[in-house]
């Protein structure tokens, strides 16, 4: 198990993360999640299941919501990536984060970064989603704590709408 041999099979991969240009040396099939967490120290994306089921590793890649545990590093070549760490900038994102705080959308917090990215992605496409559209938009993100209703409420609140999801 010689490490120099392994380095030769690694590739230089360049992409933009949260507006910054980055170049990393990684195995082409290494998970983007690991590259971000271990090489770039962006630990906001979490590993929940490692098979694209739970969505806690969600991030935005060229504006699309992806599960970074399923994305090979090479696929990120030239892409523009936004993680939870980069979401702070816009007013819309801050409104979303505030709404999660206010409505109880975050309990243990482990699904929260992915959930907020999924919500942000939804609101970018559809600024006034109905409850059904919110449910659909979050269908790839699992939360074990909240039973989702306070998350729906947070998204509806951020979108400036009331919802009858919970009393």
Partner 1 sequence: MNHERIVGTAVPRKEGREKVTGKAVYVDDMVLPGMLYGATVRSQIPRGRIKKITFETSVAWSEFVIVSAKDIPGKNCIALIGDDQPCLASDSINHPEEPVLLLAHPDRHALRKAVDAVSIEYNPLPAIFTMEESERGSEIVWGTDNVFKTYLIQKGNVDDVWSRADYIIEGEYSTGAQEQLYIENNGMVAAYDAKQGITVWGSLQCPYYVHKALMALCDLPAEKVRVVQMETGGAFGGKEDYPSMIAGHAALLAMKSGKPVKIVYDRAEDMAATTKRHPSRTRHRTALSRDGKILGGEIEFTIDGGAYATLSSVVLSRGAIHAGGPYYWPSVRIRAKAVATNAPPHGAFRGFGGPQSIFAMERHMDRIAQVVGLSPVEIRRRNFLQPGQTTTTEQVVRELIDLGKLLDRAISVSEYQTKKQEFAIENGTGATKKGIGIAAFLHGAGFTGSGERYLSSVVGVEGCADGGVRILVSSTEFGQGTKTVLCQIAAEALGLRYEDVTIAQPDTTEVPNSGPTVASRTVMVVGKLVESAARGIHQTLKLSGMLGDSYSAEEFRAACQAYVAGHGQLRSWAQYDPPPDVFWDDEKYRGEAYAAYSWAVYIAEVSVDLTTYSVSVNDFVALQEVGRVLHPVLAIGQIVGGVAQGIGFALFEKVIWQQGRMQNNQMTNYIMPTSSDLPPIRVFFEELGNVHGAFGAKGIGELPMDGPAPAIVNAIEDALGVRFDSIPLMPEDIYDAITARSLRGEDEVASVIR
Name the residues that contact partner 1, by CB under 8 A. Answer: 1, 3, 37, 43-51, 53-54, 56, 83-85, 87-88, 97, 100-113, 116, 134-136, 138-139, 141-152, 164-167
CB of 62 to partner 1, least distance (A): 20
**Residue 7 or 78 having the CB closest to partner 1:** 7
Q: In this complex, which beta carbon is closest to partner 1, that of residue 12 or of residue 51?
A: 51
- CA-based nearest residue to 18, from 73, 89, 110: 89
Cα distance between residue 163 and residue 107, in whole Å? 20
CA separation for the pair 154, 161 (Å, rounded): 10
Cβ at position 162, least distance to partner 1 in Å: 14
In terms of Cβ atoms closer than 10 Å to its own Cβ (0-12, 13-18, 19+), residue 131 is middle
- Please identify, using beta-carbon distances, which residue of 37 and 121 lies nearer to partner 1: 37
């Amino acid at each position: 198990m010689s490490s120099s041999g392994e380095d030769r099979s690694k590739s230089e991969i360049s992409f933009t993360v949260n507006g910054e240009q980055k170049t990393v040396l990684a195995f082409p099939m290494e998970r983007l999640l690991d590259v971000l967490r271990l090489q770039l120290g962006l630990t906001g994306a979490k590993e929940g299941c490692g098979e694209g089921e739970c969505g806690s590793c969600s991030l935005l890649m060229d504006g699309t919501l992806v599960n970074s545990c399923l994305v090979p590093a090479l696929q990120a070549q030239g892409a523009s990536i936004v993680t939870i760490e980069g979401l702070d900038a816009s007013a819309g994102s801050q409104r979303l984060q505030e709404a999660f705080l206010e409505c109880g959308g975050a309990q243990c917090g482990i699904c929260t970064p992915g959930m907020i990215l999924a919500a942000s992605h939804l609101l970018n496409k559809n600024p006034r989603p109905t409850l059904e559209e919110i449910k659909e938009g979050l269908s790839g993100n699992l939360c074990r704590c909240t039973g989702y209703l306070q998350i729906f409420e947070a998204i509806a609140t951020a979108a400036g709408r009331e919802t009858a999801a919970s009393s």
